[in-house]
Structure 1
Amino acid sequence: MTSLPLPDSALPPVVSPEEWREAHRAMLVKEKEFTRAGDALAAQRRRMPMVRAEKDYRFVGAAGEVGLLDLFEGRRQLLVYRFFYDSDVNGWPDKGCPGCSYLADHVPHLAHLHAWDTSFAMVSPASQDQITRLKEHMGWEGTPWYTLVGDDFSRDFDVPEMFGINVFLRDDHDRVYRTYFVTGRGVESMLPTLGMLDLTALGRQETWEDTPEGRPQLPPYRAERHDEYA
């Protein structure tokens, strides 16, 4: 990727090591406030009520048809990402939604989630044959990915199209409850690339950011499938 022009006037000011450390200390104070605010928000999220998932939602996986409880794989918690992969996607059926593909690239080694008694799965309207081919092409073989049976799950859990993350909890009687849902920029917690860019002087380099004049700024939501970057 070719670097965009960056005139000297757009660069951060150059200061002495002592001045830099003073500015860094001031920034750490604000970052600690931000961290504590995030902790408080997470504490509030843990205190949200939940709603029981009453219907017999069905999915098809590599081993055949299963229910929502099976997606837990015996664990206590479950995150389900609705991946936008159907006939409305540009490049279908060889390609999935660019943004969803960007997120799928960031799914961690699931052993880490499993160690916290939590499972992760993706769901889409596409068939298992189509999903398997895309997983192999994109290198997502380690991520459980199920075919949605019918529209009830998507409609009931606010993902009739596009994308979103639903979070579920299983009690000791195998009753399943929905505890949380997020879409839009709320899924950024799963995208460490953006967090890494936020640490840099140029940031995400998108037009919506509050950025000093002259720094590179391009249209937002530039995430691509990893095999398509120029």
Structure 2
Amino acid sequence: MTSLPLPDSALPPVVSPEEWARAHEEMLVKEKEFTRARDALAAQRRRMPMTRVDTEYRFEGPEGEVGLLDLFGGRRQLLVYRFFFQPDVEGWPDKSCAGCSYLADNVPHLAHLHAWDTAFVMVSPAGQDRIAALKAHMGWELTPWYTLVGDGFSRDFGVPEMFGINVFLRDDHDRVYRTYFVNGRGVEPLLPTLSMLDLTALGRQETWEDTPEGRPQLPPYRAERHDEYT
């Protein structure tokens, strides 16, 4: 990707190491406040009530049809990402939603989640043959990806027309409960690329950001499929 013009006037001010250290210390105070606020939010999330899931949702996997309980893989918790790979997506059937593809690129090695008794899967309307071909092309071999059977799951869990992550918990009697849901910018914690950009002087380089004048700013949601960047 070609770098955008960056005049000297748009660069951060140049100061002595001592002045930089003072500015850094001031920033650390705010960052620690943010960390504590984030921890408090997570504590509140852990205290949310849950609701039981009684409907027998079905999914098609590489080895046949399964139920929601099967997606846990015997683990205690489950995150389900509704991935848009279906006929109304631009580029179908060879391409999937660019934003969903961006998230899939950022999914960590699932061994780390599994060590905390938690599973992560993706679900889409696309058939398993198309999913297998796309996974192979994009290098997403580690992420389990199931075909939605019908539209009940998407409709009931708030993802018929937008991506989102639903979180479930399984009790010792194999009863399943919905504990959390997030979509939109709420999925950003799953995108370490954005967190890395937030550490830089230029940030995400998008028009919505509060950025000093003269720095690169382009329209938001510029994520592309990783095989399409030029």
Q: TM-score range by the shorter chain?
A: over 0.9
TM alignment of 1:29-108, pairs within 5 A: 29-108=29-108
Give distance in 2, aligned partners of 1:165 and 1:102.
Answer: 15
The answer for the alignment partner of 1:192 in structure 2 is 192
1:18 aligns with 2:18: yes
User: What is the identity, as a one-letter code, of the residue corresponding to 1:229?
Assistant: Y
In the alignment, residue 86 of structure 1 is paired with which amino acid? Q
> Alpha-carbon deviation of 1:72?
0.1
- Partner of 2:159, secondary structure, is coil
In the alignment, what sits opposite 1:112? 112
TM-score w.r.t. the length of structure 2 is 0.99
Q: Given residue 219 of structure 1, which amino acid in structure 2 is its aligned partner?
A: P
The separation in 2 between residues aligned to 1:80 and 1:120, in whole angstroms, is 6
- Whole-Å Cα distance in 1 between the matches of residues 6 and 154 of structure 2? 45
Q: In the TM superposition, what are the counterparts of 1:148-167 in structure 2 within 5 Å? A: 148-167=148-167
How many angstroms apart in 1 are the aligned matches of 2:43 and 2:56?
31
RMSD over aligned CA atoms reads 0.5
Gaps (5+ residues) in structure 2? none
Deviations 1:188-214 (A, max 9, x none): 010000000000000000000000000
Query: How far apart, CA to CA, are the structure 1 residues paired with 2:151 and 2:101?
Result: 22
Identity fraction in percent: 84
Structure 2: how far apart are the matches of 1:25 and 1:16?
14
Moved over 6 A (4+): none
Distance in structure 2 (CA, Å) of the matches to 1:62 and 1:203:
40
Instruction: Measure the CA separation in 2 of the matches of 1:120 and 1:149.
Output: 18
Partner SS, residue 99 of structure 1: helix
CA distance in 1, matches of 2:124, 2:133: 14
User: What amino acid is the match of 1:6?
Assistant: L
The CA deviation at 1:161 is 2.2
Distance 1:94 1:203 in 2: 32
1:138-153 equivalences under 5 Å are: 138-153=138-153
Structure 2 distance, partners of 1:107, 1:135, is 13
The aligned counterpart of 1:207 is 207
Provide the C-alpha distance between the structure 2 equivalents of 1:9 and 1:67, rounded to a whole number of angstroms: 58
Measure the CA separation in 2 of the matches of 1:86 and 1:13. Answer: 48
Amino acid at match of 1:97: C
Q: Deviations over 1:143-166 (max 9, x none)?
A: 100000011100010011231000
